[in-house]
Amino acid sequence: MKYNLKSLILFFTILLLTINQLWATHQRAAEITYKHLNGWTYEFTITMYTLTSSPADDARPTMPTFWGDDTGDELDRIYFQPIPDVNDMTLNIYKGTHTYPGPGNYTITVEDPNRNSGVINIPNSIDVPMFIESELIINPFFGNNNSVQLLNPPIDMGCVGTLFIHNPVAYDIDGDSLAYKLVPCKGAGGYDIPGYSFPMASESFTIDEFTGDVVWENPVVQGEYNIAFVVEEWRLGVKVGSVRRDMQIIISSCDNDPPEIQTIDDTCVVAGDYLMFDIFAWDPDGSSVSLEAYGGPFEVNPNPAFINPNPATSSDTAKTTFNWPTLCSHVRREPYAAVFKATDNDSEVSLVNFKTTTITVNSPAPENLVSEALGNGINLSWDKSLCENAIGYYIYRRSDSSDWNPGYCETGVPAYTGYTLIGEVNDIDILNYRDDNGGSGLIHGTNYCYRVTAFFNDGAESYASNETCASLKRDVPIITHVSNDSNFIENGNVEVIWSKPIELDTIQYPGPYKYVVYRDEGLAWSNPIFITELQGLNDTIYYDSDVNINELETPLNYLIDLESTTVGYIGSSQKASSIYLKTAPRDKEIYLTWDVSVPWKNYKAVIYRKDNGQINYDSVGFTETFFYRDRGLENESEYCYYIKMFGEYSIDGIIKPLINYSQISCETPNDNTPPCQPEIDVYTDCEQISNEIRMWLPYDSCSYDAMRYFIYYKAPENPDAVLIDSVDYVKGDTAYYLHTDLESVVGCYYVTARDTVGNISEQSEAKCVDYDACPVYELPNVFTPNSDGFNDFLVPLNYDEGNPKATIERIDLRIFNRWGKTLFTTEDPKINWDGKNQNNGQDLPDGVYYYVCDVYFVTLDGIKDFRLQGSVTIIRGQ
């Protein structure tokens, strides 16, 4: 039966009003999952767990469902059977299909009025519907999506005071990355249930966001509890869907500890290999143990994993062996989760424990990669990937060989190896690639090394291939020096040197030969001019005396052509520039930077300086970067510099090191430099309603004469920051300022620094304190106004950790009894209710009272509000 949203709401409202009492008490747990069929069509499964003995247990042959596109259906129940070995519990499965109008975000919802009574953490649970939902995101850019399947039933048992663990065993057939988070249970209309709270624990109640382990440490009160969590699917960093499960935990008063499990935490395997490892389980109380397994490896087809024996049972230590004959079809980017479940055979309550082992199935590497230089490029070839489901190959390159070999589980080619991705082949059957640097040609004199990987649809990469290296034939000049003449460095003439071609094909290019030298200004080759010709192959030095680079404001660039007077042009060297040194004055220092564009690798620079009135240059330091700070100088005194740079080609047979000199650059330091940008942190005291600002200048910063910090503050909703105070700068130390007398701790701060001559730094990054810097405003569900000095007043939770007024402007609290009569009101965020009837001053009797509290809290964007609803119990005792 199909209907639109309006008719569905009407139908469902009538349904709730007329048969809620008849059907109540049987709904325990539920979730919605889906799988893609074709196009925009999906199949949905609603899985519900009900109490077999309830009169309402067989009363729902269909389930009203909203599709999230303003339409809905009643889905037929296709399965209705008691669960074997689970006392008084029935499994209900409803199925149906729906076709969506197109891409979009859709929330599929089901609301059932029949949640069971007596759920401890859901007030009046018999009157609270169970609401479940799943999110379907249809995005053509990320392909079709199937929801996770939750393989472990959502009903579990536990003991008071004993560690409780549950795992839903979520399996995603698409191999998406999964993330788990706890959320409140939802009720009527899809709203969070008023008064809902997570189960009370002596230590904590959490979910592991990666494994999905729900850990309750430890239950305090016996009874039935409902919790909810969301399993999100992420693909390439984008959310593609989610499933929300509402489940039940039954805690008994029993004396039992859960079993223990021991096995490996994680591993990987090469597709095609057989993976085996052992799992052990035992019970600390001496009960017999059963050991089972769930998860993705056991769901794949063909060749799913299996354990042997299955299950493994023992009165002492249960042992089973994980077996997986892996295939290439199992390769995926995200690891599989194999979840092992141990159950003890206690006479009162059987407890369980879980252990998750992550397994990554990796593709083998492409084999027999070879390289061969040809012309101005290098040709690569390799064998076809052993995994036919790969869709292409990545090509990686670096200069010179490495000693890297992939780690046991290390796929792809990590950046730390020095390799760079330079290309890809999008066809698994194409087994070659030519690297000619995008058509511009590779560099002579460089030893190029390569690795290849296969890649897959989901972004998985294989192990890296063997390394292969090659270099271009030395059949053109290889330029090695473009340098200020070190013998007469004050003259600024340029010495150009190159290595002659030693692998020239003299049959194809007969002599005689000549070199043609060209020069251009700047790093870019834009307007070269011819400057000379040199006859023969052995004359490989040119002294350019027509220039003085000490007087130029740009580097010079050179290129050497090789020509045959018989056949003409043969080839060219790479372009290479002179080193262009730039100097900038600062307070008592000169900041040096230099630019150069050369085909070889420069790895070190030595800085030479001549002081005012001196004749000689002296070395003052060295660096492996392209900048240097020469400090401790005298302001208003001139200093002159040049750079001596060391470099090399990666092939043998060329002189090493290559030494080149820059032009001379002179500069005079002066105090026109402000202190560097300060750094700050803000530490908030929610109890005292104050913020402490800590400020400092970065280590080794331009702070020779920094003198004072200036602190600026911007209050909420105020567009402008105001100067509130200043404090002294202490060299090499942190300064402190305490901002007090605040209405709230919310606001933003930044700091500037000033030096002795008035230079002011750039302002620091702003550090903001928002409402979430202090404890969340929450109310307890019980207090004991019996004048014993402990818990005598109703105050917000976490009251001892912070003053509520630190972030709360006011509240509007109304407490009333079950008949709706108002007994207490206040606007004070501290509340301090003593349990008396505000109307007559009399103590109220023990019992449950209800409240509605509108909380007006201060944020960086102004005053906002939210509503708290729930109940509070007065217990005075005897």
Q: Is pLDDT of 390 > 70?
A: yes
pLDDT at 717: 81
pLDDT at 58: 67
pLDDT at 21: 38
Q: How far apart are CA 793 and CA 824, in angstroms?
A: 13
Q: How far apart are CA 394 and CA 531, in angstroms?
A: 44
Q: How far apart are CA 20 and CA 17, in angstroms?
A: 6
Q: Is pLDDT of 5 > 50?
A: no
Instruction: Tell me the C-alpha to C-alpha distance, in Å, between residue 250 and each of 163, 166, 225, 343.
Output: 13, 12, 6, 16
3-state secondary structure labels for all residues of 359-380: EEEECCCCCCCEEEEECCEEEE
Residue 635 near residue 588 (C-beta atoms within 8 A): yes
* Helix, strand, or coil (residue 859): strand
Q: What's the pLDDT band for 703 if we cut at 50, 70, 90?
A: low
**Short-list 132, 135, 97, 91, CA closest to 112:** 132
Beta carbons within 10 angstroms of residue 14's beta carbon? 10
pLDDT at 9: 41
Residue 599 near residue 654 (C-beta atoms within 8 A): no
Q: Mind listing the pLDDT tens digit for each residue in 197-220?
A: 999 988 899 999 999 999 999 999
Q: What is the mean pLDDT of the chain?
A: 92
The structure tokens listed for 649 are 């080609």
State the average pLDDT over residues 417-422: 97
Beta carbons within 10 angstroms of residue 122's beta carbon? 25
β-pairing, 155-159 with 238-252? parallel
DSSP labels, 477-534: -EEEEEEE-GGGTTT-PEEEEEEPPSS--TTTS-S-EEEEEEEEESSS-SS-EEEEEE
* DSSP designation for 192: B
Q: Which residues pair with 714 in a beta bridge?
A: 748
State the average pLDDT over residues 498-519: 96
Q: Mind listing the pLDDT tens digit for each residue in 87-128?
A: 778 999 999 999 999 999 999 999 988 788 889 999 888 888
Q: How far apart are CA 443 and CA 356, in angstroms?
A: 51
Q: How far apart are CA 483 and CA 543, in angstroms?
A: 10
The structure tokens listed for 284 are 């600390």
Instruction: Tell me the C-alpha to C-alpha distance, in Å, between residue 623 and each of 334, 480, 583, 662, 666.
Output: 42, 21, 16, 15, 19
Residue 811 near residue 853 (C-beta atoms within 8 A): yes
pLDDT at 59: 67
Q: Mind listing the pLDDT tens digit for each residue in 540-554?
A: 999 999 999 999 999
Q: Classify residue 423 as exposed, middle or buried by CB count within 10 Å of its CB (0-12, 13-18, 19+).
A: middle
Residue 381 near residue 480 (C-beta atoms within 8 A): no
Regarding predicted confidence, which is higher, 469 or 54? 469
112 Cβ contact partners less than 8 Å away, ≥ 6 residues apart: 27, 30, 48, 60, 63, 129, 130, 131
Helix (H) or strand (E) holding 18: helix 5-23
Tell how many helices (H) and how many strands (E) occur in the chain.
1, 61
Handedness of CA 543, 547, 549, 553 (dihedral sign): negative
Q: How far apart are CA 301 and CA 233, in angstroms?
A: 21
Percentage of the chain exceeding pLDDT 70? 95
* Helix, strand, or coil (residue 328): helix
* DSSP designation for 193: P
Tabulate helix, strand, coil % of the chain (nearest 5). Answer: 5, 50, 45
Q: What is the pTM of this model?
A: 0.74
Q: Is pLDDT of 757 > 90?
A: no
Helix (H) or strand (E) holding 8: helix 5-23
State the average pLDDT over residues 628-645: 96
